[in-house]
Amino acid sequence: RPMLHLAMPVLAEQLLTMLVGYVDWWLTGHFLEGTAYRAAIGLMAYILWVLPSMFSAVAIGATAMTARFVGSGDLRGAVRVANQAVLVGAIVSVLATVAVALWGPLFVAAMQLKEDAAPLAAEYLWILVPVIPAIMIEQVGVACLRGAGDMVSGFVAKTIVNVLNISVSAALVTGWGVFPELGWKGLAIGTAVGYGTGGLIILMLLLRGRAGLRLSWADLKPDRQIIRRLLRIGLPGGVDVAV
């Protein structure tokens, strides 16, 4: 029973992460005519899984170390770990954002999409670039909260991500009500809005304080020892996920 109490919200959260890509796939198949759109969203569905996975090394280390400090009753140490994890995640997110912005079109071309599908995939990817930091905050922040015993915040945030993705994407694809009909671009904007909001929710929770963890400028000052331990623990798992 205790194992399921810890595991089920995380399982639900992972399923909701997959649902973001499946919803976009469904909307594409039902409202956008042409095989080019389906080919492009096929690639983007994988990208929507890969982007959060880029921060898995930091997230794995953050969960393990936060849990270790919380379990030993050292809440101050747990706060330091959470701040350092967000700092490392921010550095990784900057590098990832630059990499996607510079080499995203080359990646799309390497995936061998046909000429009419490749520009669609590149456009979708460009719209997602600004929310990569928000994806990082959601992944790393939720990992810290899990380590501190909060198994619900990530599930709630991911639920809101999906609700916004479904509603905004559908409205912008079809031009429902007061929304403009943007088609393919609206699909990407809805996904970006969902991810951006999810990251903002986790950021606000950590700024206000949640499960004993709180972000602060003082604790964001680099601590080489904690960062080294984070990466020593997280990198093997991160490489595993990447492979």
pLDDT at 71 over 90: yes
Which residue, chain included where needed, has tokens 């959470």? 82
Q: What are phi and psi of 183, to 5 degrees?
A: 60, -130
Query: Which residue's structure tokens are 């380590």?
Result: 147
Helix (H, G, I), strand (E, B) or coil at 243: coil
Determine phi and psi for 178, rounding to 5 degrees.
-85, -5
Above 90 in pLDDT, residue 216? Answer: yes
Q: For the whole model, what pTM was predicted? A: 0.89
Question: SS3 of 210, please?
Answer: strand
- Give the single-character DSSP code of 213: B
Residue 179's nearest CA partner among 168, 191, 188, 187 is 168
pLDDT at 168: 93
> How long, in residues, is the chain?
243
Question: 117-160, pLDDT tens digit by residue?
Answer: 999 999 999 999 999 999 999 999 999 999 999 988 999 999 99
Residue 144's nearest CA partner among 70, 228, 229 is 70
Q: Which two tokens stand for residue 155?
A: 């599930």
SS3 82: helix
Span 27-62, pLDDT tens digits = 998 888 888 998 998 888 888 888 888 899 999 999
Rg for the chain (alpha carbons), in Å?
A: 19
